Amino acid sequence: MNLRRLVALLLLGPCAPVLAADADRELAAALQAMRTGDFANAELHAAAALAYAPDFALAAALQVDVARLKAGLGSRLAGDLDDLADDSERRAWLQWRDEARQRSLALRVGTYAAGLHAVPATIDELLIAETDRSQLHVVTRGADGWRVTVTHYLSIGRRGIGKQRAGDRRTPLGLYWIVDRLEDRQLPARYGPLAFPLDYPNDWDRRKQRRGDGIWLHGTDPATYARPPRDSDGCLVLSDEDLLSVRERIVIGETPVIVARRWSFADRPSASDELPAVRAAIDAWVRAWQRESGERAPSKLAVAELFVADYPSEAGLVMARFRLIADVAGVSRSTRKRLYLALSEAGQWTVVADGSG
């Protein structure tokens, strides 16, 4: 925490929690106030956002815009940029405009995530990134389903989604797992205090000839509270505070990260109709795998810790990940398997790709 933030929080009072969500909430309230022309509340909430996050550039830009509108000038955020000769300044305002638009989208908090057909008991939380909405949802296991407990503002690749090759500055869409945790001292400053590498490219990506690597979930430069909606080299970027709040929820090798343009959420939980048929296809694949093992065929095979979810942006495709426990000559071995199953026109689930890990 820097000195300015400490002073701001002291001024706000000892009860003010040091949560980035507070700055985001204040900014959203300021934008909402502007929709009714309520200058006083817009100024109040923008100032509060800056008190929580002094490097919140959009909040500072909003203050400038309020002052302009009060003086009878046009709104920079709404596109009154004709008198700006400086291209970099124009670009900055356009990025803030995009950020304001994305931040004004409704949050998913409280809704139930669809498309999660099976999640092992070892996982209580997972992450769903919706790139079209610039939102990262923390989805938590509940008694009746998987519910969004918090939504964070998210930045993605400068050139959007659909990563195909190294250096294309696009964010891949897919279902990944966090495989490592890199600490502050291992990282250049621009990644913030922490980084969580994802296992891109997965088997499905390789099948689709998608190249490149190094897709991380990470924080921001120390001088920046939040980055524009499209600003990274392909990584998923949160504010440092949001990343730090998410870190305790991440279990390396276990926490799935769904990266989709949009994901399906509902006000009520829904049971998976597909699971029995998908499970039958998985069991058939396991039996075939056993037959093909030849002499070293295991005497006993079991599927454990089964995870099955819709694959993002691929209609009729699900991904299954599980632990295959095999008894061979009295020794029990466990390996991770991944299957990609497609729904045929005849309504049958078929394994179309597989892998390990």
Partner 1 sequence: MKHCCALSRVAGAFLLICAVSAAAEPYDDVRAAFVAGDLDTAETAIRALLAENPFDPDARLLEAEWLRQRGSLAEARARLVLLTEAFPSRPEPFNNLAAMAFDAGDLAAAESWLAKAVATDPAYRRVLENLDALRRARAASAYRELLPNAEADAAPAPLTTFDRFAVPGVCPAPDPTP
Residue 162 per-residue DSSP state: -
CB of 300 to partner 1, least distance (A): 54
CB of 220 to partner 1, least distance (A): 23
Helix axes 87-103, 20-35, angle to 10 degrees: 100
Return d(Cα 109, Cα 133) in angstroms, integer: 14
Dihedral-angle region of residue 136 (phi above 0 means left; psi in -120 to 50 means alpha; beta otherwise): beta
CB of 38 to partner 1, least distance (A): 7
Nearer to partner 1 among residue 78 and residue 304 (C-beta)? 78
Nearer to partner 1 among residue 109 and residue 288 (C-beta)? 109
SS3 (DSSP) at 260: strand
Return d(Cα 216, Cα 70) in angstroms, integer: 42
Nearer to partner 1 among residue 32 and residue 313 (C-beta)? 32
H-type alpha helices, 225-327? 240-247, 275-292
CB of 343 to partner 1, least distance (A): 32
Nearer to partner 1 among residue 39 and residue 289 (C-beta)? 39
Angle at 288 between CA 282 and CA 294, to 5 degrees: 145
CB of 3 to partner 1, least distance (A): 33
CB of 69 to partner 1, least distance (A): 4
Nearer to partner 1 among residue 60 and residue 351 (C-beta)? 60
Nearer to partner 1 among residue 97 and residue 210 (C-beta)? 97
Q: Is the peptide bond before 201 cis (omega within 30 degrees of 0)?
A: yes
Q: What is the DSSP string of 47-83?
A: HHHHHH-TT-HHHHHHHHHHHHHHTTPPPTTTT--TT
CB of 86 to partner 1, least distance (A): 21
Nearer to partner 1 among residue 83 and residue 248 (C-beta)? 83
Are 28 and 104 in contact by the 8 Å Cβ rule? The answer is yes
Q: Which residues of this protein are in contact with partner 1, per CB under 8 A? A: 31-32, 34-39, 66, 69-70, 72, 74-75, 77-79, 97, 100-101, 104-106
